[in-house]
Amino acid sequence: MLLERNLGMGTDKTFLPAERIESRIFLIRGHNVMLDADLAALYDVETKYLVRAVKRNATRFPADFMLQLTEEEFKNLRFHFGTSSKWGGRRYPPYAFTEQGVAMLSSVLRSDRAIRVNIEIMRAFVRLRQMLASNVELARKLAALEKKYDAQFKVVFDAIRQLMAPPVPKKRRTIGFAPREER
């Protein structure tokens, strides 16, 4: 689905697909964040220039606006996405920007594209918050209904709760050969 917004900047009515932004929002250390490389791609600048601009304006990015991933988080991220190892790609852990950090980027990156991208990113964060809030509201209403009706509907409520629960990751079998002692 393309966002159809005319922001008064040319005739481009479809700017960024919402999925392109939403798929780049991650939950790290309990915060919804976007990584510097993903933001740089959206802003159409190289990651090193984005990081350089942020470092030049370090006072605008306190710890609750931006964090740098630890080596372990970075290794897990590289493993998860299959990015290059120590001989290519990044050689330092990426920065992750919270919603406030992304908003602050608009004051550091002063291009028309940066403004337009920031608007769409802020909308994506708002949609994410609304989805989370609606799920909480749904759970509250279900609990109220469950109290109201007796045990005859318990099976229905249990089935609904199972559908609302996040999927449990399946245990994967290891690939390759194992010595007889390990089998």
- Residue 23: give its domain's CATH number: 3.10.260
Asked whether residue 82 is domain-assigned, the answer is: yes
Asked whether residue 68 is domain-assigned, the answer is: yes
For residue 159, the model assigns a pLDDT of: 77
For residue 135, the model assigns a pLDDT of: 76
Strand partners, 172: none
Contact, 14 vs 4, CB < 8 A? yes
At 38, is the secondary structure helix, strand, or coil?
helix
Asked whether residue 161 is domain-assigned, the answer is: no
Number of folded domains that form the chain: 1
Strand partners, 162: none
For residue 97, the model assigns a pLDDT of: 93
Asked whether residue 84 is domain-assigned, the answer is: yes
Kindly list the distances between the CA atom of residue 134 and the CA atoms of 68, 127, 131, 174, in Å, as whole numbers in the listed order. Answer: 31, 10, 5, 38
Asked whether residue 178 is domain-assigned, the answer is: no
At 165, is the secondary structure helix, strand, or coil?
coil
For residue 14, the model assigns a pLDDT of: 45
Contact, 47 vs 152, CB < 8 A? no
Asked whether residue 31 is domain-assigned, the answer is: yes
Give the pLDDT of the chain (183 residues) as one tens digit per residue: 333 333 333 334 446 777 788 888 888 888 888 899 999 988 888 999 999 999 999 999 999 999 999 888 887 777 666 555 554 567 788 999 998 898 888 788 878 888 888 888 888 888 887 877 777 777 777 777 777 666 656 777 777 777 777 777 777 766 777 677 755
* pTM listed for this prediction: 0.60
Asked whether residue 35 is domain-assigned, the answer is: yes
Asked whether residue 162 is domain-assigned, the answer is: no
Show the domain range for 66.
16-140
Counting Cβ atoms within 10 Å, is residue 135 exposed (0-12), middle (13-18) or buried (19+)?
A: exposed
Chain centre distance of CA 40: 15
